[in-house]
Amino acid sequence: MSGPGIGPDPGAEAVARDLLVRTALLRGRPPRVVLVDGRSGSGKTTIAGALVPLLAGALGAPAELLRVEDLYPGWDGLAAGAAAVPAALRTGRYRRYDWIAGGFAEECGIERGRPLVIEGCGALSAENLAAARAWAAGSGTGIGAVLPVWIELPAEERRRRALARDGEAFRPYWDRWASQEDALAACTHPIALAREILHGG
């Protein structure tokens, strides 16, 4: 779904650095876990990609990245994938969904004790926040070590970006996926849980 990376984005790196600096100033330390949520095409993947090396540098330890899209069981699996985040954090293991083959593939691991970025539609919910706090607590840090972020962008710009990123492969699924985003947000209220709201553009 997210497509191949296109290299570092200086703008995203500046935004990511500002997030970490602001949190460190407010909380006395950088976050141990960052959750990055937003609707499709909002820029989550780009911001998360910038956050990983910056978080690692700030905390002096390699950082892990958990993409929620690796947990979705296909185009109708947004809610199921979002609900699978706590188990992945609790066990440190998950099966990656292969979007080309249309099924779950190899088992992947996320190493406990490391800084972590969780990115994707459905990343931000009360259950996922609790699991992220438990992950942070396992490294000797507390509730303030978790930074929930929501990225906001108008629908037409998101659609343009998503189709530019994924090509025609996403076009038939846009409305279908958007309906799932609406339904999930009505249940989880991700914007209300965010400590930082970024306005893309």
Instruction: Report the pLDDT value the prediction gives residue 142, as an integer from 0 to 100.
Output: 53
Q: What is the CATH number of the domain that holds 167?
A: 3.40.50.300
Instruction: Report the pLDDT value the prediction gives residue 5, as an integer from 0 to 100.
Output: 42
Q: For residue 129, what is the enclosing H or E element?
A: helix 126-137
Classify residue 131: in a domain, yes or no.
yes
Question: Comparing 4-18, 68-82, 182-196, which segment has the lowest mean pLDDT?
Answer: 4-18
53-74 pLDDT, tens digit per residue, is 999 999 999 999 999 999 999 9
Structural domain boundaries, residue 156: 10-199
91-128 pLDDT, tens digit per residue, is 999 999 999 999 999 999 999 889 999 999 999 999 99
Classify residue 80: in a domain, yes or no.
yes
Classify residue 101: in a domain, yes or no.
yes
Q: What is the mean pLDDT of the chain?
A: 90
Average pLDDT, integer, range 166-194: 91
Q: What pTM, to 2 d.p., does this model score?
A: 0.89
Instruction: Report the pLDDT value the prediction gives residue 196, as an integer from 0 to 100.
Output: 93
Instruction: Report the pLDDT value the prediction gives residue 151, as an integer from 0 to 100.
Output: 95
121-145 pLDDT, tens digit per residue, is 999 999 999 999 999 997 655 555 8
Separation CA 184–CA 122 (nearest Å): 7
Q: Tell me whether residue 100 is exposed, middle or buried, using C-beta atoms within 10 angstroms of its C-beta: 0 to 12, 13 to 18, 19 or more.
A: exposed
Q: Would you state the structure tokens that stand for residue 18, as one six-digit string?
A: 């500002």
Contact assessment for residue 136 and residue 32, using Cβ atoms and an 8 Å cutoff? yes
Greater pLDDT, 19 or 87? 87
Q: How crowded is residue 5: how many other Cβ atoms within 10 Å of its Cβ?
A: 10
Single out the residue of 18, 74, 4, 108 nearest to residue 46, CA to CA.
4
Classify residue 179: in a domain, yes or no.
yes
pLDDT band, very low/low/confident/very high, at 75 (cuts 50, 70, 90): very high
Q: How crowded is residue 62: how many other Cβ atoms within 10 Å of its Cβ?
A: 12
Classify residue 108: in a domain, yes or no.
yes
Domain count, the chain: 1
Classify residue 123: in a domain, yes or no.
yes
Contact assessment for residue 170 and residue 162, using Cβ atoms and an 8 Å cutoff? yes
Classify residue 5: in a domain, yes or no.
no
Classify residue 4: in a domain, yes or no.
no
Q: Would you state the structure tokens that stand for residue 190, as one six-digit string?
A: 């991700």
